[in-house]
Amino acid sequence: DAGVIQSPRHEVTEMGQEVTLRCKPISGHNSLFWYRQTMMRGLELLIYFNNNVPIDDSGMPEDRFSAKMPNASFSTLKIQPSEPRDSAVYFCASSFWGNPDNEQFFGPGTRLTVL
């Protein structure tokens, strides 16, 4: 299995631009998680989906952030408009709902820089 795939790996954009991050979970997994990692705040869970349905989006920082999962093999995290404070590494992770050990498999991350 290729593992969790994220694209792009690096993104540099200017303040005010729209940014879209993409994630392909491991085949057969039905839970998907978006995390943000910064030096100041560490690893934060932004949102997670079960069977393509958003379950908990309480970690989404504000309305500029939105996430979708149109099917079991694809999810997007969009920031519009982007701001310099959104600069971070964004991770996507997937797991199998119903697995009692809840192991999550992480992608390599997208490093976002907003100038």
Partner 1 sequence: AQSVTQLDSQVPVFEEAPVELRCNYSSSVSVYLFWYVQYPNQGLQLLLKYLSGSTLVKGINGFEAEFNKSQTSFHLRKPSVHISDTAEYFCAVSPRSNDYKLSFGAGTTVTVRA
Answer yes or no: are the C-beta atoms of 8 and 90 closer than 8 Å. no
Which of 4, 46, 77, 79 lies at the binding interface for partner 1 (CB under 8 A)? 4
Q: Which residues pair with 20 in a beta bridge?
A: 78
- Number of chain residues interacting with partner 1 (CB under 8 A): 23
Contact track, partner 1, 61-100, x by CB under 8 A: ------------------------------x-x-x-x--x
The H-assigned helical ranges of the chain are none
Question: Hey, is 54 helix, strand or coil?
Answer: strand
Which of 42, 53, 63, 71 lies at the binding interface for partner 1 (CB under 8 A)? 42
